[in-house]
Structure 1
Amino acid sequence: MKKLLRNTLRSNWFQRAVGFLAAEYLRLVWRTNRFTYEPADVYAIVEPQMPAIFAFWHGQHFMTPFIKTKASYHAKVLISRHRDGEFNAVAAERLGIGTIRGSGDHGSAFHRKGGVGAFKEMVRALEEKYNVALTADVPKRARVAGLGIIMLARESGRPIMPFAMVTSRFIRLKNWDSTTVNLPFGRGALVGIKEINVPHDADAATMEQLRVELEATLNEATRRAYEIIGRPDEYPHG
């Protein structure tokens, strides 16, 4: 029985079915939540700086495909090669977002998890005028920004756009990243505070400084987003 269940979970048809259903559910959530944007002209600010690197926290990511509000916004998202990533990849592609498979981790498992190839593909995507979206956290260390995204900005010369996207109705899972499952029929907020630029000649000290700045900016954006929807005590980090 366990083998049958494992084979079913790994099967292509099951992963595609779950990804399809997830995409349509998220579309329902998007359409039934009334979103507030801060700043109100956030798209007018961001558009001239595209292509950009869009950064958000792991576990707060389900609504992020909907920052792509125009067909002219070409975007790709980094998704892990883990089995769970297959569901996310199918859902993202159904929502009009291209995928790059690999790890954003630049630790000891970087090569094994396809990090080198994914990094090169992200740089290439930015050169081809695609926006690139990825989580900023170090895997299994929630709300701790890694250096990978800083390295990507240095290599590509593109700005990092940290943002938070939340809804007033949600279920928060008790896992390593406190995953938020957004629910329909509520209020939502998208907050972007400032862009972060990484000089092409940034040394280790500068990169660490910018990593800390990215971490603080994402925490500030997430706290502010929950304030906007009237749930200021709901952000458990930072």
Structure 2
Amino acid sequence: MKRLLRNTLRSSWVQRAAGFIAAEFLRLVWKTNTFTLDPPNVYDIVEPEMPVILAFWHGQHFMTPFIKRKDYKGKVLISRHRDGEFNALAAERLGIGTVRGSGDHGGAFHRKGGVGAFKEMVRVLEQGINMALTADVPKRSRVAGMGIIMLARESGRPIMPFAMATSRFVQLKNWDRTTINLPFGRGILVGGEPISVPADADQAMMETLRARLEATLNDATQRAYIAIGRPESAGHA
């Protein structure tokens, strides 16, 4: 019975249905929350630098497709894991292209399709398309990985860290504190200081910039939740 249930949940029609429902629910959340920008001119800062690498934390990603304006081109990195399938379908329904693979540069990098995904992300940026991905790698929440720093060095494109939050949300008790945003509230997009990685950056400089990205994202996330008047730990509607 468990095997039948597992196979059913992994079936393509269930994944498609889940992707459709997730996308339309997020669209409802976007339309029924009043969003503000911090700083107010955040798009004026980002647009001249495009294409850029958009960085955010795992578990804080559900509203990120909506930062895209109609004339922007963007793709997002999504895991090849079966749980990533409906996320990919939802993203594509919301007008965001996908790159499938892992941002992890650890021992499982090759097995998870990381090398191919890395090369594809470089190509995406070369084509003038923005690339979005989580800065932290699976099972290491709020710890920026080196993969995104390597991508910035290889592509020559700046990293734009940001955080989004809504005043009504549910937070799961899992490794990345997944936050499910809810309708009928207030929201905010907080942009952090852009980070550029020189093409000749050595390991020490890359580690310094990795730590800066981590601190910037933590600061942006904290500012976002302060702005909406709710601590992140208050994960109930």
Common fold, TM-score beyond 0.5? yes
Whether contact under 8 Å (1:222, 1:235) holds in the other structure is: no
Q: When the two structures are superposed, what TM-score results if normalisation uses the length of structure 2?
A: 0.97
Q: CA RMSD in A?
A: 1.1
Equivalent residue number for residue 60 of structure 1: 60
Deviations 1:56-99 (A, max 9, x none): 000000000001022x2100000001111001000000000000
What does 1:44-193 correspond to in 2, within 5 Å? 44-70=44-70, 72-193=71-192
* Residues 235, 218 of structure 1: alpha-carbon distance in 2 compared, 3 angstrom cutoff: farther
The sequence identity of aligned pairs, in percent, is 77
Whether contact under 8 Å (1:226, 1:234) holds in the other structure is: no
User: What is the letter of the counterpart of residue 193 of structure 1?
Assistant: G
Equivalent residue number for residue 223 of structure 1: 222
What does 1:194-233 correspond to in 2, within 5 Å? 194-232=193-231
* Residues 120, 235 of structure 1: alpha-carbon distance in 2 compared, 3 angstrom cutoff: farther
* Residues 235, 107 of structure 1: alpha-carbon distance in 2 compared, 3 angstrom cutoff: farther
For 1:8 and 1:65, the matched residues in 2 are separated by: 28
Any idea what SS the aligned residue of 1:144 has? coil
Any idea what SS the aligned residue of 1:76 has? strand
Any idea what SS the aligned residue of 1:37 has? strand
Any idea what SS the aligned residue of 1:145 has? coil
Equivalent residue number for residue 11 of structure 1: 11
Equivalent residue number for residue 23 of structure 1: 23
Q: How far off is 1:235 after superposition?
A: 8.3
Q: How far off is 1:2 after superposition?
A: 1.2
For 1:201 and 1:52, the matched residues in 2 are separated by: 19
Q: How far off is 1:139 after superposition?
A: 1.3
After superposing on structure 2, the runs of 4+ consecutive aligned residues of structure 1 that deviate more than 6 Å are none
Q: How far off is 1:176 after superposition?
A: 0.3
Structure 1 gaps, min length 5:
none
